[in-house]
Amino acid sequence: MEKIFNITKISLLAVVTIFFVSCHDRSYKSNSSLTGWNSKDKASGGFSSNTSFKGQQAPPGMVLIEGGTFTMGHVQDDVLFDWNTTPVKQQVRSFYMDEAEVTNSEYLFYLEWMEKVFPPSDVNYQDIYESAIPDTLVWREVLGFNELLTENYLRHPAYADYPVVGVSWVQANQYCNWRSDRVNEKILMDKGILKSLFSQDSLEVRGQNHFNTDTYLANPNLLFQGDSTIYKKGLPTKVKRKRGDPRTSRDAFSGRHVKVSDGILSPKFRLPTEAEWEYAAKAVIENREYNNIRGRKKYAWDGKYTRNKSKRFKGDQLANFKQGKGDYSGIPGWSNDGADITIAVKQYDPNAFGLYDMSGNVAEWVADVYRPIIDNDANDFNYFRGNIFTKKMIDAEGKVVIVDDITVEYDTLDNGKLVAKALPGSVKYIPISRRDAYMRNNYEKAYNVDAQDGDLASSKLFDKDEDELDVKPRMYNSPIKPRVIGESGLHMQEYDEEHRTTLVSDKTRVYKGGSWKDREYWLDPSQRRFLPEYMATNFIGFRCATDRLGPMTYKRRKPTTTKKRY
């Protein structure tokens, strides 16, 4: 009997111990920090972070590209033997990408907005709108009859869903910046924080009176020339009104403004890097066999042929490209590609990532500065060449500098066109100084476009005789645009009369993918070409990308096969 009593006593003691331990664990888990403070407790001071974040949503018109590893530059054919596509193994982070190229209708919305906010009739803005207009003269041929396209392709509704062309790399990059602000502006309007700018009769919508994401995050009061009535209401705060405090008027802004830590605003839009574009176009995920890739992909779709193999559409072309000399569409009928020039987006099946026209229709600008090789030894993670590290400009009073109508600066491109460095109402950025990079082990300076390229260690032909040149030493013998300023203050347009052997420079950008004007050879996503960033053609378009924040994918990881256990 005594033995049974002792067993009962020990069991009861064990139950009580487990109860207290579980209570201790439960109370510990309720504390969100390593300090032991409970973030949900008002007495803690309200230092809690956003615990209601449910994950990033795909921006409008975009699909998630789950990151991974792939062999970049692994072409099926290299008939030119130019060592331009040396295979290198690369890791790409997850990101979002437009499922189709930016169309004429989407770009026209951008132009209409620019014309309304920065009217060209205003002397302060006359060059801003002009710099955004595509070059419609790219359709002209000396021995061709294309004036109809010159006059109608951009603005006629018949071409509304066709990809925009005649856009330089500079213009495509500016569109991405503009899109960032419009998306975040719409998010704040949907949240009820921001009123609709174009519905305010009292607000003159031009110049600085437009939304800018960086300026809003730096100081919301710097937007709209300090007019706070444009804000309706803010996010709720934990601070409650005390008894005796005056009530805020119904029209006054209450609450707080959005911060990065709220996870509400979208990351900035941009052009995809070359590694991202090629990875997304190849979509090797459909060739995955366990943890290996089966075979090599020649196109954005699986297989080594350009015609459909299905019973219903057998023989149809899988992309819009030039099939031969004087053959841009094929013989009339069921087997042609349906287009003599470009074609409306989403006319062909998407690839395994859900992206349309990654082979054919139009080639596309990517963010990278062109170099003949991809330096895998330098970086094999999210490779990109073109970094110029910047920081917000701070004035003598310690405030962020905002570009206004007077301080807006313009760049004169090599083709003579003017382009604003930053739009009025935006934050002014400047390159970082050597002091900012002091004692860092990951970078040493702001300008890294020519990193490990053009120094004495990378080429024995590097021109190191700096005294005889009017420019800094460089590796590539590309043309130099003379910077001669005339009496009117404009740059004189002159040609470089020196003998040059290459167009490769720090101003040349990569474009990827075949187009309606290219032969089948260029449909391979691994092929790469380049063009100066200020030039435009009738066969290069673009699409935008943005970063994926947090986990690589929103899907739960599951095993390939699951077996029932009995």
Q: How far is CA 279 from CA 273, 289, 297, 457, in A?
A: 10, 17, 11, 31
Res. 240: pLDDT tops 70: no
Provide the pLDDT for residue 144.
92
Provide the pLDDT for residue 86.
79
Provide the pLDDT for residue 28.
43
Distance CA 269, CA 367 (A): 12
Res. 44: pLDDT tops 90: no
Distance CA 330, CA 339 (A): 9
Q: Which two tokens stand for residue 119?
A: 């009217």
Res. 182: pLDDT tops 80: yes
- Asked if 234 and 192 touch (Cβ cutoff 8 Å), the reply is no
Q: How far is CA 320 from CA 48, 327, 404, 518, in A?
A: 53, 11, 45, 9
In a domain, 359, yes or no: no
Distance CA 14, CA 11 (A): 5
438 lies in the same domain as 420: yes
Question: Poorest-confidence range of 224-233, 423-432, 554-563?
Answer: 554-563
Q: Which two tokens stand for residue 468?
A: 């005889």
State residue 97 phi and psi, 5-degree precision: -145, 145
In a domain, 501, yes or no: yes
Res. 446: pLDDT tops 90: yes
Provide the pLDDT for residue 143.
93
Res. 186: pLDDT tops 80: yes
437 lies in the same domain as 457: no
Structure confidence by residue, pLDDT tens digits, 508-523: 999 999 999 999 999 9
Provide the pLDDT for residue 471.
53
| Number of domains within the chain | 2
In a domain, 164, yes or no: no
From first CA to last CA, the distance across the chain in angstroms is 42
Question: Poorest-confidence range of 14-23, 56-65, 114-123, 477-486?
Answer: 14-23
Model confidence at 470, in pLDDT bands (50, 70, 90)?
A: low
Higher per-residue confidence, 452 vs 545: 545
Residue 144, classified by CB atoms within 10 Å of its CB into exposed (0-12), middle (13-18) or buried (19+), is exposed
Provide the pLDDT for residue 345.
97
Provide the pLDDT for residue 11.
60
Residue 91, classified by CB atoms within 10 Å of its CB into exposed (0-12), middle (13-18) or buried (19+), is middle
In a domain, 462, yes or no: yes
Distance CA 399, CA 222 (A): 10
- DSSP 8-state secondary structure symbol assigned to residue 150: H
Select from 463, 485, 505 the last residue of a domain.
505
In a domain, 143, yes or no: no
* Helices 169-190 + 104-117 axis angle, to 10: 80
Q: What is the mean pLDDT of residues 470-494?
A: 69
Distance CA 460, CA 462 (A): 6
Select from 460, 490, 505 the last residue of a domain.
505
In a domain, 489, yes or no: yes
Res. 145: pLDDT tops 90: yes
Q: What is the mean pLDDT of residues 334-363?
A: 91
Q: What is the mean pLDDT of residues 245-252?
A: 60
Model confidence at 99, in pLDDT bands (50, 70, 90)?
A: very high
Provide the pLDDT for residue 547.
96
Vertex 353 angle, CA 349 and 356, to 5°: 35
Res. 42: pLDDT tops 70: no
Provide the pLDDT for residue 201.
52
Structure confidence by residue, pLDDT tens digits, 405-415: 888 888 888 88
DSSP letter for each residue of 270-339? EPPPHHHHHHHHH-GGGGEETTEE-S--SSSSSSS-SB--SSTTTT-BSS----BTTBSS-SSSTTS-S-
470 lies in the same domain as 442: no
Distance CA 310, CA 202 (A): 60
Res. 249: pLDDT tops 70: no
Model confidence at 557, in pLDDT bands (50, 70, 90)?
A: low
Distance CA 536, CA 345 (A): 20
Question: Poorest-confidence range of 194-198, 367-371, 497-501, 528-532?
Answer: 194-198
Provide the pLDDT for residue 295.
73
| Average pLDDT score over the chain | 83
**Percentage of residues in the chain with pLDDT exceeding 70?**
78
Vertex 30 angle, CA 27 and 32, to 5°: 130
Provide the pLDDT for residue 406.
83
Higher per-residue confidence, 116 vs 470: 116
468 lies in the same domain as 435: no
401 lies in the same domain as 454: no
Of 257, 264, 227, the closest CA to residue 53 belongs to: 264
Res. 480: pLDDT tops 90: no
SS (H, E, C) 426-483: CECEEECCCCCCCCCCCCCCCECCCCCCCCCCCCCCCCCCHHHCCCCCCCCCCCCCCC
Select from 465, 484, 505 the last residue of a domain.
505
Amino acid of residue 477 = N
Residues 6+ apart with CB under 8 A from 43: none
Tell me what percent of the chain is helix, strand and coil, each rounded to the nearest 5. 25, 15, 65
| Domain carrying residue 441 | 387-408+416-448
Q: What is the mean pLDDT of residues 161-184?
A: 97
Distance CA 27, CA 20 (A): 11
Res. 195: pLDDT tops 80: yes
Provide the pLDDT for residue 202.
47
In a domain, 303, yes or no: no
Provide the pLDDT for residue 564.
47
Provide the pLDDT for residue 312.
78
In a domain, 424, yes or no: yes
Model confidence at 469, in pLDDT bands (50, 70, 90)?
A: very low
